[in-house]
Structure 1
Amino acid sequence: MAERQDLTCDVAVIGAGTAGISAERAARKAGARTLLIDPWFRGTLCANTGCMPSKLLIAAAHAAHAVRHAPVFGVNPGSLAIDGQAVMARVREERDRFVAFTKETFDDLPEGTAVTGRARFEGPGQLVLEDGRRIASRAIVIATGSEAMIPPPFRDLGPRVLTTETLFEIPDLPERLAVIGGGPIGLEMAQAMGRLGVRVTLFDNSTTLAKARCAAVHDALKEAVSRDLTLRLGCETSAEAVDGGIRIDWTGDDPGRAVFSHVLVATGRPPNLKGLDLDRSGLALDDHGTPVFDRQTMQCGDSAVFIAGDADADVPLLHEASTEGAIAGRNAAAFPDVAPSERNTAFTLTFTDPPVASVGASPEDGTICGRSDYGNQGRARTEARAEGVMSVYADADGRLTGADLCCPGAEHLSHLLAWAIESGATAPQILSMPFYHPTLEEGMKAALREICGKTSQPVPESRDFGNLPGG
């Protein structure tokens, strides 16, 4: 048998997910010879078990909800029938299409760039593959992503306990579903399943859903999702496998016990760092065993090792992973000439209905707050979805610094607010822009005017159409 040859490169990237793909591309663009190392090259987390399959399930839930809601417009579609097997089949079929698209990016890599296998540290800056080959590289990027976590009460209870790794593989919708965790993923899937006719109960030991920062926004979110599922917040749970399902006991203000056909555990995704032998890397590690790094450079200490994406346990979002990968790849190629990069405005979005979003600074940052109530907003009323609230934050000069919202169109409105914050816009400047009537965008004017009033900034008179119906 021929002896396996050791490998050399300028930048070795461990992990071929969103962050790893971005890092490899950035490093290669900067002139570096790269290696992209992954055990499977199965595509990104987003395409396989994250963003895309979850949104496919949510799209089915929107369709079911629209049918139920149609009579308010005088449209009576008749009885609703949900084919759970067809729902899940379409989720997998379309998911596989998205996965295929991401895999095509690997075909475009220069020959010899993709290395199938697992890499681990043999010493500071030294990598070895599981087949014994060593990799000599000037710099390393860790982009190994994250993995689903099942806490002890639900561990070893069999296939009825699901994570996002297995949820989309079930052949039919569950009969009765318990969701453990009220974060963005748990809440999205709980509401979607509820709208698809599944009896859903969501449990969380916290009393806050989707990490909402604003009390008014949280109240709006809680009221909306409570129509589609049962909430058990501020409680502890225990579980046991029984005939036909999983029995859950819970504490709290209304303690109880129930048997569920399935349990979806959505309690977080810790970094996937097992097997890297980071104890041999020479890197400083935090209390959780994650390398300490600079989020402006993605550099671990002053070493030639960089980290990006979910592996760094910072902001587990696709757009952040892509940004971090690009920063890490550029700096790995340029090492030791590492340059900081300014990060974009923080932006999170949960695809409930209505969506909930947080942008930039929080309300605790000493900022001025303006609020818009969508409970009677004109365009929202025409669509029979008038509910929710938007809170916008600004500094003493009226410059926008952040926002929290749970209202119709929030996934689009939050983008506009993020762009406004990035550009340094003030409330008067935005109010001077054209607002078409009637639109959901008009609803933000009340919050902007309130900011103007609190900062003594004048409201632009020529564009102030606030007295029009539905504005």
Structure 2
Amino acid sequence: MRKVTVAIIGAGTAGLTAYRAARKHTDSILLIDPGPLGTTCARVGCMPSKLLIAAADTAWHMRHADMFGVSAADIQVDGHKVMQRVRRMRDRFVGKVLEGMESIPEQDMLHKPVRFISDHLLETADGQLIEAEKIVIATGSRPAVPEFLQKAGKRLLLNDDLFELDTLPESVAVFGPGVIGLELGQALLRLGVRVRMFGVGGAVGPIGDDEIRQAAVQCFSAEFPLDPDAQVKEIRETDRAVEVTFIHTDEKPLTEHFDYLLAATGRRPNVDRLGLDQTHLQLDDRGVPVFDPQTLQCSVEHIFIAGDANNHLPLLHEAADEGGIAGRNAALLPDVQPGDRTVPLAVVFSDPQIATIGMRPANIHEQFSGRFAEAVYDFAYQARAKVLGRDRGLMKVWAETGSGTLLGAEILGPDAEHLAHLLAWAMQQQLSVSDLLAMPYYHPVLEEGLRSLLRDLQTRL
């Protein structure tokens, strides 16, 4: 039996950060992961998807160059070359992650899956036992596929599978207009793939505000068929396609054939194979350990959970923050401290982009009822956006009355990733609307739209 002070299960972003944080306080540490190594972001997530989006945006700008009086005739998309570059660059990103792991001593690594035997005891498949004083669960997540989508059989694609295609397909049915579905679905469409997107319940990306959600549906529906609350009657695999039968706009069933069905229906935490039933951990209705989001400590005090495994904020920068907090607290138990958390920030790299910053609208309405003001801005009136031919979308900001402190924001618009960072940094510094209006604004830039919105918000405060 091997005995260690800290065992970390999972070597993704959260696990690696937890390892480095714990290693500052103890040499008795074990990082456990059966592989493949390289983090979800680098292998199948944010990086390969952005490579596909970059190719798609290039094709789109070429096709729409005529609005500027520029001719780009005979545009061709070579699907083989597109996917070759995606994989080549993805492998480089994965390689960089693996290079960063080379500094980890081999004795600190165990390349095997493990399960809990008890609160302190882990076991590998071949019977090796590890007794750990403290444990960090950082096992990440995997795609969640509803049972009815599995009827697509061999025509079913996950985002993990998409990047392994030798070339671009001719048609894809995308299920799930969330972050993954919007990014990949729109990118495929702009590369010449016929796309139809289906959703459930009306949600679009991470948007919480109804007005911005409706604007998003209008924007994306103008480019490809999108039904965020679809009535799908049947999915069936055939010899050469997957059939999807759904209720069309005329209330009649319509059947369309696609090369593939892309399931972009979210991800599930990788905790169901850890033998958590052998522990005294309190689990929620999803089977995920109940934990303190500030300290990452579970109901069993020596066990912590970080990153996508807890499904709290499944984003790379959040996983890194949580890994650092969990690793430090595990190593220094019982000295458990709340970690410094940054303002929530999420970006969808669609076109127009979507960004959410700070508190969600529902939480603002609940926690600041009668004590907040909001203002909305339409990018159709933004000069720089009109110059760029990208004047679609809305931006909304909420602030506390009296203090003028920013509470939250949602953006559907051009280059929202940059405006979102400005707002997140402002919220992190607890700046008020007045503080932001005192900042410099160049002309002509997209940030002038933010200034117009803040001026309107100031009058409402």
TM > 0.5: yes
1:296 paired residue number: 294
8 Å contact from structure 1 (residues 150, 267) kept in 2: yes
> 1:64-463 counterparts in 2 under 5 A?
64-155=59-150, 157-237=152-232, 238-251=234-247, 253=249, 254=251, 255-364=253-362, 365-366=364-365, 367-396=372-401, 397-455=403-461
8 Å contact from structure 1 (residues 11, 34) kept in 2: yes
Alignment length (residue pairs)? 450
User: Distance in 2 between the 1:124 and 1:264 partners?
Assistant: 39
8 Å contact from structure 1 (residues 375, 387) kept in 2: yes
1:20-77 deviations in whole A, cap 9, x for unaligned?
1111111112335221100014210000000001000000110001101111111101
Q: What are the ranges of 5 or more consecutive residues in structure 1 without an aligned counterpart?
A: 1-5, 456-471
Question: Counterpart of 1:337 in structure 2: which amino acid?
Answer: D
Q: CA deviation at 1:196?
A: 0.8
1:459 paired residue number: none
8 Å contact from structure 1 (residues 145, 311) kept in 2: yes
User: Distance in 1 between the 2:51 and 2:198 partners?
Assistant: 24
Q: CA deviation at 1:138?
A: 1.5
User: Distance in 1 between the 2:300 and 2:277 partners?
Assistant: 17
SS of 1:19's partner is helix
Question: Counterpart of 2:360 in structure 1: which amino acid?
Answer: S
CA RMSD of aligned residues (A): 1.4
User: Distance in 1 between the 2:96 and 2:355 partners?
Assistant: 28
8 Å contact from structure 2 (residues 171, 193) kept in 1: yes
SS of 2:143's partner is coil
Q: Which moved more, 1:337-346 or 1:44-53?
A: 337-346
User: Distance in 1 between the 2:72 and 2:318 partners?
Assistant: 42
Question: Counterpart of 2:236 in structure 1: which amino acid?
Answer: E
1:391-442 deviations in whole A, cap 9, x for unaligned?
0110012111110011111011001001101111011111101111111111
8 Å contact from structure 1 (residues 11, 32) kept in 2: no
User: Distance in 2 between the 1:25 and 1:252 partners?
Assistant: 53
SS of 2:445's partner is coil
Does residue 18 of structure 2 align to residue 19 of structure 1?
A: no
Q: CA deviation at 1:135?
A: 1.3
Does residue 24 of structure 2 align to residue 7 of structure 1?
A: no
C-alpha change, 1:435 and 1:77, in structure 2 (3 Å) is same
Q: CA deviation at 1:156?
A: 5.5
Q: CA deviation at 1:79?
A: 1.6
Instruction: Using the aligned pairs only, state the percent identity.
Output: 43
Q: CA deviation at 1:15?
A: 0.6
1:353-389 deviations in whole A, cap 9, x for unaligned?
1100111123332331122221121111111111211
User: Distance in 2 between the 1:302 and 1:339 partners?
Assistant: 16
Which TM-score applies when normalising by structure 2? 0.95
Q: CA deviation at 1:452?
A: 1.2
Does residue 33 of structure 2 align to residue 38 of structure 1?
A: yes
User: Distance in 2 between the 1:164 and 1:178 partners?
Assistant: 13
